[in-house]
Structure 1
């Protein structure tokens, strides 16, 4: 008597109705992969085109209720603008001494 309990090889049925058994196993796995991919695509589609659209519509409604333009404080603007002009305006120094174009003058006082 042959001991089949500890063998690693799977015994396949030998009837004629099982001649395409390995092909059916491959098709079964392929079908499962296709179903998972369709499910993932459906989730992505719902998130991208439905959930994000609803979120953006809610954001627009929130933005419409808040004032978009704040009033300008012209006194502060003038103060900052004058300080900026004072900072960026170059100061003019006195008359510069040109060391290369110096004229020699004689002193009337004796040394």
Structure 2
């Protein structure tokens, strides 16, 4: 199932503006929900959401939310670079999920 940029950005902004879920967990949920999405679309969604929050809202809570989104976008980018270095598939969100399951569970829930 593919996802539009608008749908992904809406999902991210909703979390940025709520106290119910953290962004780190959301990133893992995004790749699980839309495994065929481009891995770069995840970064794009995070960056666009951060920019939208910075532009539309003021105050320390909004600033922190935007900073968190920028940080998550950067961390996903670092993982994509590492996947490239290791000659692993790195085109889709599903590729990110596979990498995280095998190498780095930062965005995934703890194992039971």
Q: Shorter-chain TM-score category? A: under 0.3
- TM-score norm. by structure 2 comes to 0.26
Specify the structure having the higher radius of gyration (Cα): 1
Bigger RCO of structures 1 and 2 (CA < 8 A, at least 6 apart):
2
TM-score, length basis structure 1: 0.26
Q: Point out the structure with the larger helix share.
A: 2
